[in-house]
Amino acid sequence: MGRKKKLQHFAENLTFDNLFQFRFEQLAATGFPLKSQWKDFFGNNYPIVLELGCGKGEYTIGLARNYPDMNYIGIDIKGARLWRGLKDAQKDQLRNVAFIRTRIELIEHFFGEGEISEIWITFPDPQPQFSRIRKRLTHQRFLERYASFLKTDGIIHLKTDSQLLYDYTLEVIRENGHKLLVAKDDLYSEEGEDVVKRIRTFYEQKWLALGIPIKYIRFALSHEQA
């Protein structure tokens, strides 16, 4: 995408009432106004589900279309990517969708205790370099952040094409006493998990076309450990 197009998207992003962009300085000074109050924004008490590193919001939008009795929030740092999800939500008049432009390291500033029911992590960067292990979104330091706002019985979903990230996440779950619910190293080779299979992102379809198995993990946090 060219610079001019990006600037146009950034400008249009400012017109969407379901996009929230707060710098760390703002969060530190005044806090996020909807923290613990997201039900006021959505106008209902439906469960709230996050997608982390949502990119263009394909999964967030897909979930919102399929499950109107749930609320969905996509989070990414790239404003130009979020523009696509915002446009799709506007086109489909989806009132159960919002987006936050921020770094995942700041995520606990946006949600109150027990406010989130589920988290989806879809095809994140596996951060293969040893020096970047702490950047993996299933690293224990991130799970500790999620525990601050995830319901006690809330669950986390991971979909990935990376064997490295799949194996690493299973090890994190085991070492920290989290509860493994489902682990499939080739999701589409088995029956079941229809909800997980229902939505396929651009990258997921790309990997499948190349014959790369999609891996899926569903787990619950041990709040004593996290």
In a domain, 216, yes or no: yes
Output the pLDDT for position 202: 85
Q: Is residue 88 annotated as part of the catalytic site, yes or no?
A: no
What is the tens place of the pLDDT at every residue in 104-161?
Answer: 999 999 999 999 999 999 999 999 998 999 999 999 999 999 999 999 989 999 999 9
**Helix/strand/coil for 187:** helix
**Stated length of the chain:** 226
What is the tens place of the pLDDT at every residue in 63-101?
Answer: 999 999 999 999 999 888 898 999 999 999 999 999 999
| Average pLDDT of every residue of the chain | 92
Q: Which of the residue ranges 3-17, 40-54, 165-179 would you say has the lowest mean pLDDT? A: 3-17
On the CB side of 74, CA atoms within 13 Å amount to: 30
In a domain, 84, yes or no: yes
Output the pLDDT for position 146: 97
Band the pLDDT of 16: cuts 50, 70, 90. Answer: confident
% of the chain residues with pLDDT over 90: 77
Query: Could you tell me the CATH number of the domain that includes residue 136?
Result: 3.40.50.150
In a domain, 81, yes or no: yes
User: pTM, whole model, 2 decimals?
Assistant: 0.93
Band the pLDDT of 23: cuts 50, 70, 90. Answer: confident
CB atoms within 10 A of CB 191: 7
Does the pLDDT value for residue 182 go beyond 90? yes
Output the pLDDT for position 2: 65
DSSP, residue by residue, 141-158:
HHHHHHHTTEEEEEEEEE
Q: What is the largest CA-CA distance in the chain?
A: 50
Band the pLDDT of 226: cuts 50, 70, 90. Answer: very low
Mean pLDDT of 174-197: 94
The answer for residues whose C-beta is within 8 angstroms of residue 163's C-beta and 6 or more apart is 185, 215
Indicate the number of domains in the chain.
1
Output the pLDDT for position 183: 97
**Which of these is catalytic: 40, 125, 153, 186?**
125
Output the pLDDT for position 26: 87
Band the pLDDT of 43: cuts 50, 70, 90. Answer: very high
In a domain, 191, yes or no: yes
Q: Which helix (H) or strand (E) holds 81?
A: helix 79-91
Range of the domain at 160: 3-220
Does the pLDDT value for residue 205 go beyond 50? yes
In a domain, 226, yes or no: no
In a domain, 66, yes or no: yes
Q: Which helix (H) or strand (E) holds 51?
A: strand 48-52
Check: CB of residue 74 under 8 Å from CB of residue 101.
Answer: no
In a domain, 50, yes or no: yes
Pairing of strands 215-220, 179-184: antiparallel
In a domain, 134, yes or no: yes
- Stronger pLDDT, 171 or 6, i.e. the higher one: 171
